[in-house]
Every structure is written in C-alpha cells, then in structure tokens.
Structure 1
Amino acid sequence: MGRLGDFFYRMVIVVLIIAAIVFLAMAFKEQYPLWKNQQELENLQASVETEKTKDENPHINWKKLKRTNPDIVGWIKVPGTKIDYPVLKGKEWNEYLHKNYEGDYSYAGSIFIQPGTSFDDRHLVIYGHNMRVKSMFGSLHDFESEDFYKKHNKIYLYQPGKTIKCTIYSVYDCLDKSATYNTDFSDDGNDNKWVDWLTMTVNNNAYYPIKKKPAEKDHIITLSTCSGKQKGDSYRFVVHSLVTDTVIYEE
C-alpha cells in the first residue's frame, strides 16, 4: 500500500475511533440524566413504602414524602407499566414540567397536576413526559395495544388514607389545548356541557373498541403525554379513565 496509503488508513481509523467516542459521550450525556432520574424515583418508592401489599393500599409513608417535598399531593400506579410515581402540584402552571420530586431541574420532570386542581375534581388531568426509555408517562403508549389493555386497564391513585380506583374507557391522540383538556363545566347556557364532553371522549376513542362507558355522575381522570414524532409536537396521547371506587382506610 505504501507509506502514504498506510498514513491515510491510520488516519481514517483514528477519525472513526474519535467519532465513536464522541457519539458514545453524547449518548451518555443524554441518557444518564434519564436513568439517574428513574433510579432516584425507584429509590424514593422503596424508601416510602412501609410494606409490600396489593394495589389497594400500598402503605406509603406520607409524612416522609411531605418532608421531602410538600408539593407531593399523591401517588399514581398503573399496573403493567413503569408508572409508579409521586404526583406533584406546584404553585405555578406547568411548574413540574422540568422539575424532579425534590424541586430540582430535571429534563424528565415529574408526574404532576396543575395548581387549583384536586383529585376530587369532576375532570382531572395528570401530566407526564413521554420519555423514550418509557419512564414517566412514556409507557402510557402501551395502551395503543388492545391486548395490553385487556390485561391492564386499571389506574390507582393514592392519597393519605385514600385509594382511588379507575378503569380506562378511552384512548386516543388529540391536539394540545383541544376540548379534551376542558375542566370547567360551569353553567354557560348549555345544560348538557358535561354530558357532551363525556360523549366526545367516548367517540374519540381510536385504537380499539372499549365497552366501558362513563355516566353523568362519574368523575374522570385523564393521563396525558406527548404523542411522539410520528404525530408531531402539537399532538398529545391521552388515556381517559373513570373513577370506579374510592377506598378509605386508616393510616
């Protein structure tokens, strides 16, 4: 090959090695914070769960959680997914979009509800990022599969002395800030505003038929995350559920 050929060959190898190192460093820089955030949440879960029990009562040490951050207002668990996280409520809109459960910056953010809302609302929206590693609300997209839905269609929300059980009834994509996110159903001259909204959520169900339907008396919990690159940044993936039971127990 000759000396000149050997030189260029070695240069190509060096450049490829450097490129590989740079690529790995960039991947590590992107993925490590996500992995670290997930590990911290799993450590938190282990530290506040006083004993392993069924989904109905997880025996959470609420006093310890509140000492960690008084903005922690509940806990959410969706069996069959990675969703097993504290729920945060800040004083500002979207405050926990990029804050972890301790209030520090984190790209993955937290699972959160907006200020002025509560678990007793007629319609409550709970938000979380769609992370590629399926952490936060990334694994919500598992509900695009009917087979998955048939095995796992329950949502559990926990507060001190209370477990709220929910059953999923609608799954679809929608535009951000669409009617799906309505939470104010006060009188505006339309007596059927709430019923019309419930009907809309049922009719929008897109991935597979679901027999469960909400009634006018029901309370609705909506889990919301990004739809992903195929749909575009303006679209959201939502999972609607209706509250089927609220269990009160002693701490």
Structure 2
Amino acid sequence: MKLLNKIASAANTLLMLAAAGAGVLMLAFGAYVLYDIRYTNQNAYISQDLLQYRPKVAAEEEGTETFDELRKINPDVVGWLELFDTHINYPLVQGRDDLEYLNKDIYGDSTLSGSIYLASENERDFSDRYNLIYGHHMDNGAMFGDIRNFLDKEYFDSHQEGLLQTENGTYLIKVFACAYADAYDNVIYNVSKDADAKFPELKKYLSEHAVQHRDIPQELSDGMLIGLSTCTDVVTNGRIVLFVSAGPLSSEDAEKYMERSSDDVPMEDIHRLPLGYFTDSDHWALLNLLCVAETFMILLPITAIRKKYRQISYSKKLAKKLEEKGCYDSHENYENNDTEERRCSEKNEEICKQLRRFTDKMHIGMILECVLLIVSIVVFLMTEDLTKKMTLSDKWTGLMIVIAAVSLLIDHLTFCYKGKTPTKEKISTRQKNEKVYS
C-alpha cells in the first residue's frame, strides 16, 4: 500500500511539473509573439539614428545631394522619399529583384516590415519617366501604411506635397490620384521606358478607377510620374497605389522645402535611444533573457513559493517552542535529576540553535537572491537592445549564466535545512505534518 501511495504521489508530482512546464512554454511563446509584433511595428518607423544620415542639399553644386553616409550603410540606397505630414519618410533602396527588400531592412537584417524600394526594372538614377516604389502596409501607419489614408477625400486634399531626393537632384512631389488596383494590373505594374506614350492610357485608367484624384497633369514635361504601391488586407492581390508627379527643384527651393521637412517629422514615432544603445548592441540574446527569467524563478518559484518562504516563519516558531520546552524540561530535570531527559533537553537546545542559524541563512539568501536578480536585470538592460534582432547568445551570455548559477547555489545552501530535527515525541501532531526542508 505504501508503494502504491509513493507511485501515486510521484505521478502526481510529474503531472504537476508537466502542467507547469507546458504553462511556462505557452507563456514564453505568447510573450515572444507579442514581442515580435511590437518589434516589427516599432522598427517599421524611421529611426532617430538613421534620420541623421538623410542627405542634405549641397549648395556649392546646384541640384545634387550627398548620399555618401547612407551608401556606407547600404550601397543599394538610391534616394530618400518623404510625403509631408505623414509617416512616409524613408531612404529608398533598389535590389536585384523586387523580392530582395520585401523582408529586409536597409541594414540588411531580416524584418517583416521590409524596406521602401524602387522597382528593379527602373533605372536607379530615376532617369525613367515612370517609376514604381513599393512599401508594406503597416496598421500603425509606418512604411506605406499612411497611403490608405489618401482614400479619404479630406486627407487627400490636405496632404499634397513631398520631396524625393536623388543623386540627380531634389524633386517636389505633388499628389494627384489614389486608386485601388490588382497586383497583376498591366497598366500600373508595367514599367515602360516610354512613359509619355503610356501616359494617356494611365490617365484614362485613373479617371475610371481612382477613388480620389485632382487635376491630372496633361503631360510629364521635364518631371516624372511615380506610383507608390502598397498592399491592402481586404483582397489577396489587392493594392492601393498613390500617384504623384515629381518636378525638379533648384538648390535654393530645395533648401526651403528641407526646412519645412525638418519641422514636419512626427517625432513621437521616431525611436528614442533604448537602453543598451551606448554599448553599440545591435541585437539581444535569447539565452541572456532566459538567465534573467531563471534568476527570477529561483527567487520566486511559481509552484513552491509558499513552501520555500514558509520555512522562515515555521523555523522561528519551532525554535521558540523548543526553547520554551527546553526551559521547562531544564527545571524538571533539575528537580528530578534525570540524566536521559537532561540529554534530550540539551539535544533540543542544539536543534533550536540550528533552526535559528537556518533562519538567519534564509534571510541572507533571500537578500543575496534579490541582489543577484537586480544585477541580472541591470546587466541585461545595459547590454541588450530589445528593439533589435534576436540571437541565441552573445559575449555577455557567460556572465548571465554565472549569475543564474550563483543564485541557484545560494538557494541550495541557504534554503535547504541539513541540521537535526526534533524527535516525533517532542513535537505536536500538527508539527509532525510540517516540513522544514525546502
């Protein structure tokens, strides 16, 4: 019967551990999914450190831009696009094909938000008369998420201008149409070298399909036509395309528009410098985060927090009872001169001292575990940047493992009672069922 009880108890413990493990895994997976969504959304906005590399108009050479710093980050940079008073304010890249930057940022890192990129069929110097620029639709308005807003007449009428900076000069953008389209539409997504010949067909298409439009340019003259394309979640192959004309600006006018541009940047959505920034961290390590979680679990074990910390109060109460009983037995032993009872009283007194030492060790262990948890969190926040990509480990992983291991060792040394316990005859029935062990 005892064997069956032990087997049942072991099975119950295994089931509890399995359930707790499954719960922790589900919680960790859910936390990761939420983090991934937040990471994607936050990094879809223009970052403060990238914004400082935006090209400036070179006054000494009219119409040219300085792209040297951006090219050091990514040689595929071909320009910078901004629509005033929107979140569209990004460097433009061009890949070998239209899939290269679909899920890759300007730094070359994988991200679901991708980049704003020029169609691979277009010339990288924007010498084509018709250009297509692609960007993901983000629900928070990042990337090309604001293009959907142009379907609203009030928004369309109040957001009409922007800038396109290229190596050939700065162009003033003027919005003239916004339309739904299909991803395989041959009129919009066929980049033709002869844009002037194609323009009448496109004007007819827009007059029939545009949701919002204003005076459509009669001809391209010395400017260019640009389609800003993004997806829509309503239809699988559905697209929203914002059509703009782009005319060249003189160096003086370009500088004036650049001044306006600096005032229109939505600063509330630009990344602030995160913790870990000054360490030049470009990632965060999963093992380091798990070490922080382990250090927290050692301090506050989810399934055994009551069992762990009730030892302090129980040990104090038991020591007090043994001390009171020792005083009473000592008085009786003095009167009866019973040698065996006197030895038993001395034994209980020794157990009482051990329990008090155990209580002191638990207090010290609790303080040390708190300190190690704080150190672990501070080290993680100072060395990792949760706004960047995830890696398995980094140069700080060894230190994080040592902190977690030391915390586990302290827990074993301070919360595990290894002294003697009172005999069954000396404790009450209720105390028999209590355990001092961790």
**Per the shorter chain, which TM-score range?**
0.7 to 0.9
**Does the 8 Å contact 1:169/1:202 carry over to 2?**
no
Indicate the residue corresponding to 2:87 in structure 1: 82
Q: Secondary structure at the match of 1:38?
A: coil
Q: CA deviation at 1:115?
A: 2.2
Of structures 1 and 2, the one scoring higher in RCO (CA 8 A, sep 6+) is: 1
- 2:51 is aligned, of 36, 45, 53, to 45
Indicate the residue corresponding to 1:54 in structure 2: none
Q: 1:164 to 1:202 in 2, by over 3 A?
A: farther
- 1:155 is aligned, of 154, 162, 168, to 162
- 1:102 is aligned, of 83, 93, 107, to 107
Indicate the residue corresponding to 1:172 in structure 2: 179
Q: 1:104 to 1:196 in 2, by over 3 A?
A: same
The yes-or-no answer on 1:183 pairing with 2:186 is no
Indicate the residue corresponding to 1:27 in structure 2: 34
Where do residues 1-251 of structure 1 align in structure 2 (5 Å cutoff)? 23-38=30-45, 41-48=47-54, 61-118=66-123, 119-160=126-167, 162-178=169-185, 179-184=187-192, 186=194, 193-206=198-211, 208=212, 210-218=213-221, 219-228=224-233, 230=234, 232-243=235-246, 245-249=247-251
Q: 1:217 to 1:160 in 2, by over 3 A?
A: closer
Deviations 1:15-68 (A, max 9, x none): xx97777544422222213313536x33201244669xxxxx9x9751101111
Q: What number of residue pairs does the alignment pair up?
A: 222
Aligned partners of 2:66, 2:48: CA distance in 1, in Å?
A: 15
Aligned partners of 2:245, 2:68: CA distance in 1, in Å?
A: 29
Report the TM-score, using the length of structure 1 for normalisation: 0.76
Aligned partners of 1:162, 1:217: CA distance in 2, in Å?
A: 17
Richer in strand (by share) = 1
**Does the 8 Å contact 2:93/2:117 carry over to 1?**
yes
Query: Percent identity of the aligned residues?
Result: 24
Aligned partners of 1:225, 1:143: CA distance in 2, in Å?
A: 12
Q: CA deviation at 1:122?
A: 1.8
Q: 1:84 to 1:22 in 2, by over 3 A?
A: same
Q: 1:24 to 1:226 in 2, by over 3 A?
A: same
Q: Secondary structure at the match of 2:78?
A: strand
**Does the 8 Å contact 2:105/2:115 carry over to 1?**
yes
**Does the 8 Å contact 2:128/2:193 carry over to 1?**
no
Q: CA deviation at 1:247?
A: 1.5
Aligned partners of 2:144, 2:51: CA distance in 1, in Å?
A: 16
Aligned partners of 2:36, 2:129: CA distance in 1, in Å?
A: 42
**Does the 8 Å contact 1:180/1:201 carry over to 2?**
no
Aligned partners of 1:90, 1:21: CA distance in 2, in Å?
A: 36
**Does the 8 Å contact 1:48/1:60 carry over to 2?**
no
Deviations 1:134-184 (A, max 9, x none): 111111112122111221111311013611112111111111120221222
Aligned partners of 1:37, 1:211: CA distance in 2, in Å?
A: 30
Report the TM-score, using the length of structure 2 for normalisation: 0.46
- Quick one: which amino acid aligns to residue 180 of structure 1? I
Q: 1:246 to 1:132 in 2, by over 3 A?
A: same
**Does the 8 Å contact 1:50/1:60 carry over to 2?**
yes
Q: CA deviation at 1:97?
A: 0.8
Aligned partners of 1:141, 1:37: CA distance in 2, in Å?
A: 16
Richer in helix (by share) = 2
- Quick one: which amino acid aligns to residue 162 of structure 2? I
Q: 1:49 to 1:115 in 2, by over 3 A?
A: closer
**Does the 8 Å contact 1:97/1:110 carry over to 2?**
yes
- Whichever of the two has the greater Rg, that structure is 2
Aligned partners of 1:117, 1:185: CA distance in 2, in Å?
A: 9
Q: CA deviation at 1:131?
A: 1.2
- Quick one: which amino acid aligns to residue 44 of structure 1? L
Structure 2 gaps of 5+ residues are 1-19, 58-62, 256-438
